[in-house]
Amino acid sequence: MLLISCPNCGPRDETEFHYGGQAHVPYPENPNDLTDREWAEYLFYRENTKGTFAERWVHSTGCRQWFNMLRDTVTYDIQAVYQMGGAAARRARPTRS
C-alpha cells in the first residue's frame, strides 16, 4: 500500500486516492487541426516510463483535490508531490533501465 502525502491533508493510505495517469498532458489547443495520428497520440498514447514518472492523483476520500506526484515505477518510491499546473519537479533520480 502506498502512503501518499496529500498536499492539503498530509500522509494518507493509498485507498483514499484515485490514480489519474500521466501528468502534464495538455488538451490540444486546436483539436480540429490534428491529424488522425496526432489525435490518436492524444487519446491513447501515454508515457509508460520505467523509472521516475510524473503522474496525477486525486485525494478522493479527503479534500477531493488533484495534485501531481513523481514516483519511481519500479521501487514505488514517492519522490515529490506538487501542485497541478506546476512545473514538473526536478527529477530526483535518473530513469532506470
Partner 1 sequence: MANTAAFTGINGLREIRRSPASHLAEAFDTGSVQGTVTLNEGPFQTMVGVRVDRSSEAGARIASVTGGLPERCGDVGGTERVSVLWLGPQEFLVVAPEDAHDSLGGDLIGSLKSALGDAAGQVVDLSANRTTFELSGPRARAVLEKGCALDLHPRTLKPGTALNTEVGNIPVALFKTGEESFRLFPRASFADYLGRWLLDAMREFASPEVP
Partner 2 sequence: MSTHQLPEHPDFLWHNPEPKSSYDAVIVGGGGHGLATAYFLAKNHGMTNIAVLEKGWLAGGNMARNTTIIRSNYLWDESAAIYEHALKLWEILPEELEYDFLFSQRGVMNLAHTLGDVRESIRRVGANKLNGVDAEWLDPQQVKELCPILNIRDDIRYPVMGATYQPRAGIAKHDHVAWAFARKCDEMGVDIIQNCEVTGFVKDGNRVVGVKTNRGTINTEKVGLCAAGHSSVLAEMAGFRLPIQSHPLQALVSELHEPVHPTVVMSNHVHVYVSQAHKGELVMGAGVDSYNGYGQRGSFHVIEHQMAAAVELFPIFARAHVLRTWGGIVDTTLDASPIVGTTPVDNMFVNCGWGTGGFKGTPAAGLTFAHTIATGAPHKLNRPFALERFETGALIDEHGAAAVAH
Q: Please choose, out of 34-42, 61-69, 80-88, 89-97, the segment that lies near partner 1 by the rule CB under 8 A.
A: 61-69
Which residue lies nearer to partner 2 by CB, 8 or 75?
75
Helices (H), 1-97: 36-44
Q: Which of 27, 79, 26 is nearest to 53 (CA)?
A: 79
Helices (H), 27-76: 36-44
Binds partner 2 (CB under 8 A): choice among 26, 29, 43, 90: 43
18 binds partner 2 (CB under 8 A): yes
Give the integer Cα–Cα distance in Å for 77 and 65: 22
Residues that bind partner 1 (CB under 8 A): 8-10, 12-13, 15-16, 61-65
